[in-house]
Structure 1
Amino acid sequence: MDSSRALNEVVITGQSEPQSLRNSVYQVRTIDSERIRLRGATNLQTILNTELGIRFSNDLTLGTSDIQLMGMSGQGVKILLDGIPMVDRGSTRESLGQIDINTIERVEIVEGPMSVMYGTDALAGVINIITKKGTDGSSLTVNARLQEETAGGEYDPFTKKGTHNQGLGIVWQAGQLQLSGNVTRNNFGGWQGGATGRAKAWLPKEQMLYTTGARFSGKKWNLWYRFNGTDETIQFLGDLNTVGEAADKDYITKRWFHQLQSEIKVSDKLNLTAVGSYTDYSRRTLSTNLDSSGRRTLSLEPGSQDKSVFTTGFFRGTAFYKATDYLSLLAGIDYSNNNASGARILATPTINEYALFVAPEIRLGNFFKLTPGLRFLKNSIYDAPPAIPSINGKITLGKSLDFRFGYARGFRSPALRELYFDFHDSSHSINGNVNLKAEYSNSYNAFLVWQATRREGLSISSTLGGFYNVFHDMIDFATDPNDASQTTYMNVHLNKTTGITLDNKLFWKNLQATLGATYIGRYNEFSDSDFGSLPEFVWSAEINTNLLYTFKKAGASINLFYKYSGKRPVYQSVDLVTVHLAETAGFHMADLTLSKTLGKTINLLGGVKNLFDVTNLRNTSIDTGGAHSTGGPVPMSFGRSYFLGLSFQWTKH
Structure 2
Amino acid sequence: MKIKLSLFAVLTFCQILFAQQKDTIASQEKLSEVVVTGQFEPQSIKKSVFNVRVISKETIKQLAANNLSDVLNQYLNITIKTSGEDGRSTVSMFGLDSQYFKILVDNIPLVSDTGMGTNVDLTQVNLDDVERIEIIEGSMGVTHGANAVSGVLNIITKKGGGYKWQIAATVQEETVGKEYALFDKGRHIQSAKIAHNFNENWFINVGGNRNDFAGYFDNREGKDYDLNDGLRGYTQLPKQQLVGNAILGYQKNDFKIFYKFDYYGENVHYYNPILIPQDNYPFPETYFANDRRYITNRYFHHLNSNGKLFSKLNYNISVSEQKQERDVEKFNYQIETGNEFDNQRQTYQSKEVFYSTGTLSNFFDSKKVDFQLGYEITNENGFYDATAGTFKDDNQQLTDIRRKFENYDIFTVAEINLTDKFSIRPGIRYSFQSYFDNQYASSLGLRYLFKKGLEARASVGKAYRTPNFDELYTYFVDSNHNLQGNPDLVPEQSTSYELSFKRSCLLNSGAQIANNLAVTYMDVDDRIDLVMTQATPTQNYRYVNINKYKMWNVSTTEQYSYKNWNVQVGAALVGISRKLDLAAVNVTSDDKFLYSLRLNSNISYNIPKWNTLIALFYKYNGEQQQFVAGTDTDGSTKFFLSEIKPYSWMDASIRKLFFKNQFEVTVGARNLFDITSVQTIQNGGGSTGGGAHASGSSDLLLGYGRSYFLKLTYNLNFN
- Is contact 2:257-2:304 (8 Å) kept? yes
> Which letter does structure 2 place at the counterpart of 1:198?
R
Where 1:116 maps in the other structure, the secondary structure is: helix
Where 2:216 maps in the other structure, the secondary structure is: coil
Where 2:64 maps in the other structure, the secondary structure is: coil
Identity across the alignment (%): 29
- In the TM superposition, what is the alpha-carbon distance from 1:472 to its structure 2 partner? 1.3
Residues of 2 paired with 1:213 and 1:291: CA distance? Answer: 44
- Is contact 1:520-1:541 (8 Å) kept? yes
Unaligned 5+ segments in structure 1 are: none
Residues of 1 paired with 2:416 and 2:570: CA distance? Answer: 32
Match of 1:434 among 464, 487, 490: 487
Aligned to 1:415: 468
Residues of 2 paired with 1:180 and 1:145: CA distance? Answer: 16
- Is contact 1:496-1:523 (8 Å) kept? yes
Residues of 1 paired with 2:258 and 2:323: CA distance? Answer: 20
Please list the CA deviations of residues 324-346 of structure 1 after superposition, one character each: whole Å capped at 9, or x if unmatched.
11101111011000011242364
Tell me, yes or no, if structure 1 residue 557 matches structure 2 residue 613.
Answer: yes
> Which letter does structure 2 place at the counterpart of 1:560?
L
Matches within 5 A, 1:128-527: 128-135=154-161, 139-157=164-182, 159-175=183-199, 176-196=201-221, 197-241=231-275, 243=277, 244-266=287-309, 269-291=312-334, 293-294=336-337, 295-298=339-342, 305-323=346-364, 324-344=366-386, 346-385=400-439, 387-420=440-473, 432-453=485-506, 457-478=510-531, 489-525=543-579
> Which letter does structure 2 place at the counterpart of 1:632?
S
- In the TM superposition, what is the alpha-carbon distance from 1:493 to its structure 2 partner? 2.6
Tell me, yes or no, if structure 1 residue 54 matches structure 2 residue 78.
Answer: yes
Where 2:462 maps in the other structure, the secondary structure is: strand
- Is contact 1:527-1:534 (8 Å) kept? no
Residues of 2 paired with 1:216 and 1:154: CA distance? Answer: 47
Residues of 2 paired with 1:287 and 1:313: CA distance? Answer: 31
Match of 1:616 among 677, 681, 689: 677
Residues of 1 paired with 2:304 and 2:477: CA distance? Answer: 40
Where 2:99 maps in the other structure, the secondary structure is: helix
Please list the CA deviations of residues 84-103 of structure 1 after superposition, one character each: whole Å capped at 9, or x if unmatched.
01111126633432222111
**TM-score between the two structures when normalised by the length of structure 1:** 0.92
Aligned to 2:19: none
- Is contact 1:89-1:416 (8 Å) kept? no
- In the TM superposition, what is the alpha-carbon distance from 1:510 to its structure 2 partner? 1.1
Aligned to 1:44: 68
Please list the CA deviations of residues 512-561 of structure 1 after superposition, one character each: whole Å capped at 9, or x if unmatched.
11100001111132699998995611111100001111111210011001
Where 2:680 maps in the other structure, the secondary structure is: coil
- Is contact 2:291-2:332 (8 Å) kept? yes
Where 2:195 maps in the other structure, the secondary structure is: strand
Residues of 2 paired with 1:499 and 1:528: CA distance? Answer: 28
- Is contact 1:327-1:360 (8 Å) kept? yes
Aligned to 2:650: 590
Residues of 1 paired with 2:262 and 2:481: CA distance? Answer: 31
Please list the CA deviations of residues 382-439 of structure 1 after superposition, one character each: whole Å capped at 9, or x if unmatched.
1132x321101101122321110000001111234443466899x9997543222111
Match of 1:113 among 124, 136, 139: 139
- Is contact 1:90-1:418 (8 Å) kept? no
Residues of 2 paired with 1:208 and 1:423: CA distance? Answer: 34
Tell me, yes or no, if structure 1 residue 65 matches structure 2 residue 89.
Answer: yes
Structure 2 vs 1, CA of residues 589 and 392 (structure 1 numbering), >3 Å: closer, same or farther? same
Residues of 2 paired with 1:565 and 1:81: CA distance? Answer: 28
- In the TM superposition, what is the alpha-carbon distance from 1:65 to its structure 2 partner? 1.5
- In the TM superposition, what is the alpha-carbon distance from 1:241 to its structure 2 partner? 2.2
- In the TM superposition, what is the alpha-carbon distance from 1:26 to its structure 2 partner? 0.4
> Which letter does structure 2 place at the counterpart of 1:376?
Y
Residues of 2 paired with 1:237 and 1:473: CA distance? Answer: 40
Please list the CA deviations of residues 585-643 of structure 1 after superposition, one character each: whole Å capped at 9, or x if unmatched.
111100010011011210000011100000011011344679xxx97310001000011
Quote the RMSD (CA, aligned, Å). 2.8
Structure 2 vs 1, CA of residues 288 and 485 (structure 1 numbering), >3 Å: closer, same or farther? farther
Residues of 2 paired with 1:533 and 1:358: CA distance? Answer: 40
Where 2:705 maps in the other structure, the secondary structure is: coil
Structure 2 vs 1, CA of residues 283 and 445 (structure 1 numbering), >3 Å: closer, same or farther? same
Where 1:618 maps in the other structure, the secondary structure is: strand
Residues of 2 paired with 1:317 and 1:142: CA distance? Answer: 33
Aligned to 1:639: 705
> Which letter does structure 2 place at the counterpart of 1:285?
V
> Which letter does structure 1 place at the counterpart of 2:603?
L
Where 2:357 maps in the other structure, the secondary structure is: strand
Please list the CA deviations of residues 148-203 of structure 1 after superposition, one character each: whole Å capped at 9, or x if unmatched.
0000000012x221111100001111121111110100110111123353311111
Residues of 1 paired with 2:642 and 2:470: CA distance? Answer: 29
- Structure whose CA Rg is larger: 2
- In the TM superposition, what is the alpha-carbon distance from 1:322 to its structure 2 partner? 4.8
Structure 2 vs 1, CA of residues 422 and 87 (structure 1 numbering), >3 Å: closer, same or farther? farther
Please list the CA deviations of residues 445-468 of structure 1 after superposition, one character each: whole Å capped at 9, or x if unmatched.
110112254567321111111111
Aligned to 2:45: 21
- Is contact 1:65-1:93 (8 Å) kept? no
Where 1:13 maps in the other structure, the secondary structure is: coil
Aligned to 1:580: 640
**TM-score between the two structures when normalised by the length of structure 2:** 0.84
Residues of 1 paired with 2:538 and 2:88: CA distance? Answer: 26
Structure 2 vs 1, CA of residues 528 and 19 (structure 1 numbering), >3 Å: closer, same or farther? farther
Aligned to 1:88: 112
Structure 2 vs 1, CA of residues 477 and 45 (structure 1 numbering), >3 Å: closer, same or farther? farther
Aligned to 1:540: 596
Structure 2 vs 1, CA of residues 429 and 285 (structure 1 numbering), >3 Å: closer, same or farther? farther
Where 2:71 maps in the other structure, the secondary structure is: helix
Structure 2 vs 1, CA of residues 218 and 455 (structure 1 numbering), >3 Å: closer, same or farther? farther
Instruction: Report the number of matched residues.
Output: 641
- Is contact 2:529-2:547 (8 Å) kept? no
- Is contact 1:352-1:379 (8 Å) kept? yes
Unaligned 5+ segments in structure 2 are: 1-26, 222-230, 278-286, 392-399, 690-695
Residues of 2 paired with 1:201 and 1:29: CA distance? Answer: 35
Structure 2 vs 1, CA of residues 487 and 190 (structure 1 numbering), >3 Å: closer, same or farther? farther
Please list the CA deviations of residues 280-308 of structure 1 after superposition, one character each: whole Å capped at 9, or x if unmatched.
011112222224554423378xxx95521
Residues of 2 paired with 1:215 and 1:417: CA distance? Answer: 39
Residues of 2 paired with 1:245 and 1:480: CA distance? Answer: 43
Structure 2 vs 1, CA of residues 80 and 545 (structure 1 numbering), >3 Å: closer, same or farther? same
Where 2:122 maps in the other structure, the secondary structure is: helix
